[in-house]
Amino acid sequence: MNAVEPPLGPPDASVTPRYAGIATFARLPRLEEVRRADIAVVGVPFDSGVSYRPGARFGPSHIREASRLLRPYNPEQDVEPFAAQQIVDAGDISANPFDLAEAVEQIGAAAAELSADGKRLLTLGGDHTIALPLLRSVARRHGPVAVLHFDAHLDTWDTYFGAPVTHGTPFRRASEEGLIDLSASTHVGIRGPLYSRQDLRDDERLGFAVISSPEIESEGLPRAIERMLARLGDRPVYLSVDIDVLDPAHAPGTGTPEAGGMTSRELLAMIRTLRSVNLVGADIVEVAPAYDHAQVTAVAAAHTAYEILSAMRPHPPATPR
């Protein structure tokens, strides 16, 4: 953006109450209201890939509603994210709820079209299935990316009931398709029971290191951050946040909750350190409002999105591959 045409941000809360008007993310302008955008927040209300509790299709609107209270200045990162770049709400991507394969193609095509001019996407899910088409779109522009994956679960399983694409398989498919950097990708917050020891062996073979939730507790947050940043290095990074990385006390509104998770304070602290890396895209998934209480999960997701946008500092445009 040039000095003559500064970014258009949210309306003044002392003039227009936060609870009034259309609930775009953080009350940001819609895509059609600006000439160009650097970052687009886009929803994917889709949850046909879930294996347990449904409802994440209502996640994008739930997060947007909770984001009304976000303010322009982020003191922890010392940045005004909505003034530094033009950030917009691009609405929702429509996907066939009755045909998972077609939905994945629709999501990928829409993401590619939306980012064709170089804008980065922060996608609000939806279930974790959507990470696969989003990674396909990002990898076409940047090549294999370092995936930083916050989650209670590995999501590198092979199939469910013979289905190769579900919310538990996106990173296995992404690894097999050559979309991820096998030397730099990382899970953070993993915990809970697995099917067998082979799950961990397969996950390592697919290119992931693990910083588990128990390790964060025993080694401390600074050490976890050090390990995470060392693993990412200077690669282009795609960030995927499953809200169930948080303990159910901090995020009850999700489909597959696991006890013993991170606090929202720990998650936000780790994301703030990503201002030093090249974030080329991100998603926040698995917010299911039917199981939420007093917007606890939505508030956590909205603040997570805010810290991601604050960390997405301007970067030189990538060369399409």
**61-93: per-residue pLDDT in tens?**
999 999 999 999 999 999 999 999 999 999 999
Query: What confidence category does residue 5 fall into, taking pLDDT thresholds of 50, 70 and 90?
Result: confident
pLDDT at 152 over 50: yes
Q: Is 308 helix (H, G, I), strand (E, B) or coil?
A: helix
Average pLDDT over residues 210-216: 98
pLDDT at 195 over 70: yes
What is the rounded CA–CA span in Å between residue 31 and residue 28?
9
Query: What confidence category does residue 316 fall into, taking pLDDT thresholds of 50, 70 and 90?
Result: low
pLDDT at 4 over 60: no
What is the rounded CA–CA span in Å between residue 311 and residue 108?
24
What is the rounded CA–CA span in Å between residue 49 and residue 316?
35
pLDDT at 320 over 50: no
Encode pLDDT of 228-242 as tens digits: 999 999 999 999 999
Q: What is the mean pLDDT of the chain?
A: 95
Domain spans, the chain: 25-311
Share of the chain above pLDDT 90, in %: 92
Strand-strand pairing, 120-125 and 278-285: parallel
CATH number of the domain located at residue range(s) 25-311 in this protein: 3.40.800.10
Report the pLDDT value the prediction gives residue 315, as an integer from 0 to 100.
Answer: 62
Instruction: Indicate the pTM of the whole model.
Output: 0.95
Of 60, 170, 165, the residue nearest 122 (C-alpha): 60
Query: What confidence category does residue 126 fall into, taking pLDDT thresholds of 50, 70 and 90?
Result: very high
The length of the chain, given as a count of residues: 321
Encode pLDDT of 18-33 as tens digits: 899 889 999 999 999 9
CB within 8 Å of 94: residues ≥ 6 apart: 106, 110
> Which amino acid is located at 218 in the chain?
S
Query: What confidence category does residue 144 fall into, taking pLDDT thresholds of 50, 70 and 90?
Result: very high
pLDDT at 179 over 70: yes
Average pLDDT over residues 171-177: 98
Report the pLDDT value the prediction gives residue 14, as an integer from 0 to 100.
Answer: 86
